[in-house]
Structure 1
Amino acid sequence: MSLVDHLPSSTRGRSATLVGAAGAWAAAYWVNGRLWDRVFYDLFDMAPGERLTETLHFFFYDTVKIALLLSGIILVITVLRSYMSIERTRALLGGRREGAGNVLAAGLGVVTPFCSCSAVPAFIGFVSAGVPLGVTLSFLIASPLVNEIAIGLLLTLFGVKITLAYIGAGLTIAIAAGWVLGRLKLERYVESFVFETTLGGQVIDSTAGLSFNQRIQMGVEEVGSILRKIWPYLLVGIGLGAVIHGWAPEDFFTDYAGPGNPFAVLIAVGIGIPLYSNAAGILPLVEALHDNGLPMGTLLAFMMAVVALSLPEMILLRRVLKARLLGIYIAVVGSSIVAVGYLFNFLLA
């Protein structure tokens, strides 16, 4: 029996159920920090401020906190996203010229985020439907870079100022990089089978006609699906963050990637590109590094490199992009991220 079968059929009953669920979520989020304070400081009588205590506290507190944030964000966004399918997105982008198309594509990439495993079918669908290559790449850059999970977690962890700066930088990178790549006329470096894919000449909206209860069910299933896929990386990211938070010397990261090192952003981006993670997995590590003195520009560049240029996504894109275009794509996006990192270090100092 699915969740839909348990939801009230009346609008009033459904609304009451959703409000109650939202209240339970908020209560769990509020209790989380106090719970682990009691467990470690009172139950186990561990002294606050000690390395082992802070490491364990950070790990358990952040694991629950990130899981709650992910569950809430994914559920809400999936329901909203059910009204904007990939086919509808493709229809909106088709026929758009470069420039305006890049801006629209980047904006749509924020509200219709696709994970790296969706990059290949999205790319094929857009290009085969006549969407210009540069416009398609703007969409693919923005989708993982400025996604709902990154925005929600950044807002919670670092506040409005940093979140808006990240969104603005991410959109700028997506628009500018897509425009540059489009102007280079690199279509010949797209694998030929992409242009041979047919879609029947018809846009099919697979989410049309769904009831609200069914959209809620879709959101719950998406929460379970995503958490099952990312939980190992989530725990690794939080674990690394916990170790750094509790054990790393305070001056270690400031010495090697602090404002005094002119190559700090380059080093951060170079480390970030081969890593495999997402906003949920990398943000606990970013939070811990920030607590240990790393400049925000360096951290955001590191996060962007991990999220936008992850190795698995590059492997997937290699199926549709020839090596030369993939190399150019990495170079353009990577250099844009480096520039943003240095700019933020200057502006946010």
Structure 2
Amino acid sequence: MSVLSDHVDVIMGQAPSGDQYNDRGEGWPLIAGAGDFAGSVPRPKKYTITASKLSRPGDIVIGIRASIGSKVWSDGEYCLGRGVAALRPRETVDGSYVWHWFEANRTLLESKARGATFLQVNRADIAELPFEPPPLPEQRRIASILDLASSITAKCDAQKDLFREASSAIFMSMFGDPLLTSRHALAVPLSTVTEAIIDCPHTTPTWTDTGVLCLRTSNLGLGEWDFSETRFVSEETHEVRTRRAVLKAGDLILSREGTLGVGAIVEPDMEASMGQRLVQIRPDTELVLPEFLLAYLLVVLQPSRLTQLLVGSTSRHLNVRDIRALPIDVPSIDRQREFSEAVRAIRVQRRSVDIQTKLAAELLQAVQDRAFRGEL
């Protein structure tokens, strides 16, 4: 049986000495791990003046620790750190075919991972993956079809990114930068325009397989919910965790620790309790509307901006006292209502794109499955 290393060189990364690192752009850009991936290309944060393992343009760089199987194209020469390996296709295989084949077989590689502290795979795990490529012309035909299907998915993802940024752009256009408007004489503390600002319980709940949804920071995005991973608690635990306040439609849920700058609005008929590191904000809707307040908070709670607004806060942690003290210049309700209507229109369009993205992903998966079963 043919294996991957019969057709592809597998180059395992090796970490340079720590005293060789720099952030001045000297030497080679360092791909330490999957944290240096952005989309389909590397985005390294550090450089090194010595490198024993280098990628070439056209290599496929894969994560081998923690984020196993994530991958990017090498668009230049990079130092390969210990968290990655490079796949270098030989003349018998097409690079794009290998890229798509690897995506379709990622779970097989993940199943080989082991480790007490964090999961990882070694060279043999990668090199010995069963790989029976068809003749080169057929590889190229299959790769061209999969490239087209992938481009449809990528365009849908790009549309979603634009919609995520649209609310912030409209907010800035209508109301200005909060770092400036918060200094206006009419700016007031956030606590004066809300009915309640409620901290989460500071305990980890006992999880159950089914029950009532318990929200975590991973469920929050830039003004949207992400329920790709959910956790549940019992009815009894839910009652305990909502003693301070039950979630109501129009409440805001924000992350206040770890991943700052994410949040969403509680939707009608949504029953849930809060996990840790979250805060619940109930706007006084006679003074401030949920869509306006959320957009304001998502702008000011960006880690790079937060420390400019609240002296003494950090980019990783925000306590409830800090949130209550956030200065906000509140525009008229009519102006807020105009903004809210624009945001709701964007939300409708975004949900349409979400459906298209899901269908595109299902199409790509179906085409991949057929391609590597020899049915395409």
- TM-score class, shorter: under 0.3
- Which protein, 1 or 2, shows the higher relative CO under an 8 Å CA cutoff with sep ≥ 6? 1
Name which one, 1 or 2, has greater alpha-carbon Rg: 2
More strand by share: 2
